[in-house]
Structure 1
Amino acid sequence: MRSPGHSRPPVAGATGSLVFTTVLTGGPLSRADVAVRTGLSAAAVTKAMKPLADAGYLVEVEETAEDQGARRVGRPATPVRVHAERCYFAGVKVTGDELIGVVTDLQATVCAVRHRPLRSGAVEDVVTELAALVSELLGESDSYRASFGGLGVSVGGDVDPESGMVRYSPFLGWRQVPFVALVAAATGLPVRLENDVRALTVAEQWFGSGVGAGSFAVVTVGTGIGCGLFVNERVVSGAHGVAGEIGHLPVDKDGPLCHCGNRGCVEAIAGNSAILAQISETTGAEVADLASAIELARNDPAARRVFAVAGHAIGMALAAVANFLGPERIVISGEGLAAYDLFSEQIRTTFAEHAFGAAGDCDLIIRPLSFDDWARGAAAVAIQRFIAPHTS
């Protein structure tokens, strides 16, 4: 693969990153607005913005005639915004049978999408296919290669972003895989690895439902049950790279066996494969996928009860998150939301019963996202590292 051009923006340490990030996530903003939001002096903001503007990362917003009429007499407070097309990023979500790739601009707007099936989950095969996918994506426009900022890759399971190691991915059957080193060697690109749910949380933090929130959580429902946590201005990774694993929160000591070795985990009850297995066992009907299970449950009370039990487990998990963290909001997403109408009542009832006191005031936001959005999350991780490496 021909190596794209890439360089970091001219930010002066943490101050420059803070100013750039503030405009990126909240802009357009005047310099005075940036000073208020960051707590920096006007002089410090101007000093940090100048090299970014000179390099084309920040541009002033042209004032319209309406703005001119509304503006009071005096020196105008010209808003500044990020020039989103100044730099591009690639993001890839790795699943058990497919790679989903996107190219985004600096504000995580998706510019190109490609999916690539995996013939094998073997590490070398995934790396080869991933490199080919990224090459195709970057080949869609000369601009992508000329102004490239980095590649983000997200994988479900226990990953260590700092070492670039996939320590354990149950859906791929990987253990101790030096994935970043392998992908970087195959692509010639700067690569950032992250757990898929944490990557999605970064995207929500900077560009989605988490913007402006002091704390929030993202809970994903689907093949697995995941949770990303945002506290004290950063996504929580945990001391050992593991945090928010609510899928392995035990809610029924006599429940089904989980792949982690314990019984009654939320994921063993409410994960897609668990729901399919329970419906087959309960009804005797063979259901090949979630869509078939949903269709059956529309008319079969026994199948519908399986979804209600899953909703109870998810509600218990959400209440645990609210009780432990006390977030302003919990964003619920994932491919499992296709069945939301079948278990939404049980989720909300159980949450209300088990959330303690004011923790129950937490907003539950339903946000359906496609796998393309998960790949966008991987790109958001690359954007974050590009702009503010000290925050990740």
Structure 2
Amino acid sequence: MSPPSRAETFPAHTPAVSQIFTTVLSQGPLTRLELSRRTGLSPAAVTKAVRPLIEAGYLVEDVAEDAPPALGRPATLVRVDGGRALFIGIKVTGDEIIGVLTDLRCRILVVRHLPLPGRTPQQVLAATTGLVGELLTEADGMDVTVMGLGVAVSGDVDRAEGAVRYSPFLEWRDVPLAELAAMATGLPVTVDNDVRALTVAEQWFGAGVGLSDFAVVTVGAGIGCGLVVHGRVVAGAHGVAGEIGHVTVDPAGPLCHCGNRGCVEAIAGDAALVREVRAATGTEVADAAEVLELAHRGVAAAREAYARAGDAIGRGIATVANLLGPERVIISGEGLAAYDLFAEQIRAAFHAAAFGSAAECDLRTRPLPFDEWARGAAATAIQSFIGSEPVRARSTP
């Protein structure tokens, strides 16, 4: 495994440069005039911000075929050179690690899946380091430098500190993962909550492009939510903004692992579905996949469990809409395999609980495999590279 051959930072870390670059990255190619319109910066400020990006090779110019000429000269477009740099994204689940190698435009070039040998921080770190090594070898063959590593983990993650404060699925508390991974791989590392990482990817490259206010709700083992407010992904003062999985929708409902009753996750999470069907049928249901199979076979207990889950999810989404008024809510996660079983209940509960014009929020489903969640981790690494400084590898004595 070889770390980056040279230390490189993104040119001119200023708000204008970052704004221009992210706008071109997510919405380009664009003319300078259109960049000025979309960012609210003056044409002179756009020109000043674009210049170092072109000189460093991060932006390139093309002649715009359909744009009208400006002052007798062909209009030019600026676009991101995706091949200028590479990034690695890692998604950690309870059973496996998924790694992707992406270009600067977050297009997946290589995917690797690795079974997780265990869930201790040492085991996960060792497996991650090995997987990163494989992806670095792939990058060596492309002769392009890997500029950063993003790691996505479920739970309470403090991105600023690079620490996993609490991950219920991994049973971790206060693990300084960014520092450990940086030392092990030699790469700049960004660690974030997996749903927030997915939200970054959706904001820049997916169904949230061009939206100022939207949310991503994920359904599966847990019920997660990523929030974008006024164009920024929100983590909150303590890093747990968007935890709709722990919004109470039934005070007399089942006990949640968080200690409260009737949380959305305690009703709609995979473990809740399994528990409910086991209790109703008296049979040893193995997992959520078996619950799904039973529901599709018409077993009443399984179908009723999904109906209740849909109601809880819809009420949770309505809470987000009532509080923040997003233009769109993107529903994703591995639980979408059962969407046909609870889609009607989600929408009915949402419209019943959403207040006034909050009900106009666009609910959109978007199935995203875990490869895309790893891509989200790579997106956070790109975000750190062009903006705030991530945790960097320390030299060993």
Return the TM-score normalized by structure 2: 0.94
The 10-residue stretch of structure 1 (167-176 or 132-141) with the greater mean CA deviation from structure 2: 132-141
SS in 2 for 1:108: coil
Identity of aligned residues (%): 60
Please name the residue that 1:218 is paired with.
216
* 2: CA distance, partners of 1:332 / 1:379: 21
Q: How does 1:305-384 map onto structure 2 within 5 Å? A: 305-384=304-383
**2:4 equivalent in structure 1:** 4
* Matched ranges for 1:111-260 at <5 A: 111-142=109-140, 146-260=144-258
Is contact 1:138-1:144 (8 Å) kept? Answer: no
Counterpart of 2:222 in structure 1: which amino acid?
A: G
Report if the CA contact (8 A) 1:87-1:144 is conserved. no
Q: Which residue of 2 aligns with 1:45?
A: 46
Matched-pair contact (CA < 8 Å) for 1:18–1:388: no
User: C-alpha separation between the residues in 2 aligned to 1:277 and 1:345?
Assistant: 23
Aligned Cα RMSD in Å? Answer: 1.7
**Partner deviation per Cα, 1:113-159 (whole Å, 9 max, x = no partner):** 00111111111111011000011012113266742220000110111
Supply the AA of the counterpart residue of 1:329. Answer: R
CA distance in 2, matches of 1:143, 1:16: 31
**Aligned residue in 1 for 2:270:** 272
CA distances 1:258-282 after superposition (whole Å, capped 9, x unpaired): 1111111110110011101111111
- Give the Cα separation in 1 of the matches to 2:82 and 2:132: 20
Q: Report the residue type matching 2:24 in the other structure.
A: V
Which one-letter code corresponds to 1:79 in the other structure?
Answer: L
Q: Which residue of 2 aligns with 1:389?
A: 388
Flag the 1:271–1:12 CA change in 2: closer, same or farther, 3 A. closer
Provide the C-alpha distance between the structure 2 equivalents of 1:378 and 1:54, rounded to a whole number of angstroms.
Answer: 28
Separation in 2 of the partners of 1:164 and 1:195?
A: 10
Q: Distance in 2 between matches of 1:144 and 1:125?
A: 29
Shift of the 144–222 alpha-carbon distance from structure 1 to 2, 3 Å rule, reads farther
Name stretches of at least 5 consecutive residues in structure 2 with no aligned partner.
Answer: 391-397
Report if the CA contact (8 A) 2:64-2:75 is conserved.
no
CA contact (8 A) 1:332 1:364 kept: yes
Deviation at 1:285, TM superposition (A): 3.2
Q: 1:36 to 1:228 in 2, by over 3 A?
A: same
Q: Equivalences for 1:298-309 in 2 at 5 Å?
A: 298=296, 299-309=298-308
* Unaligned 5+ runs, structure 1: none
Aligned equivalents of 1:221, 1:110: Cα separation in 2: 23
- Residue type of the partner of 2:339? Y
CA distance in 2, matches of 1:350, 1:216: 19
- The one-letter code of the counterpart of 1:276 is V
Once the 2 structures are TM-superposed, how far is the Cα of residue 96 of structure 1 from its aligned partner? Answer: 1.3
Q: Residue 146 and residue 107 in structure 1: after superposition, are their counterparts in 2 closer, same or farther (change >3 A)?
A: closer
User: Secondary structure in 2 aligned to 1:85?
Assistant: helix
Question: Partners of 1:61 and 1:9 in 2: how far apart?
Answer: 22
Instruction: Show the counterpart of 2:55.
Output: 54
Q: What CA distance in whole angstroms lies between the structure 2 residues aligned with 1:89 and 1:144?
A: 12
CA contact (8 A) 1:12 1:48 kept: no
Report the 3-state secondary structure (helix = DSSP H, G, I; strand = E; otherwise coil) of the residue aligned with 2:76.
coil
2:285 equivalent in structure 1: 287
> In structure 2, what residue type is equivalent to 1:284?
G
TM-score by length of structure 1 reads 0.95
Does the 8 Å contact 1:268/1:274 carry over to 2? yes
Distance between the aligned counterparts of 1:56 and 1:216, measured in 2? 32
Task: Tell me how far apart the structure 2 counterparts of residues 180 and 141 of structure 1 sit (CA, whole Å).
Answer: 21
CA distance in 2, matches of 1:223, 1:290: 9
Q: Indicate conservation of the 8 Å contact 1:22/1:38, yes or no.
A: yes
1:273-325 CA-partner distances (Å, limit 9, x unpaired):
11011111112233323222112112212210110001110011011011011
Evaluate the alpha carbon distance shift between residue 228 and residue 54 of structure 1 in structure 2; reply closer, same or farther with a 3 A threshold: same
| 8 Å CA contact 1:14, 1:390 repeated in 2 | no
Aligned length: 388
**For 1:139, what is the secondary structure of its paired residue?**
helix
For residue 35 of structure 2, what is the amino acid of its counterpart?
Answer: V
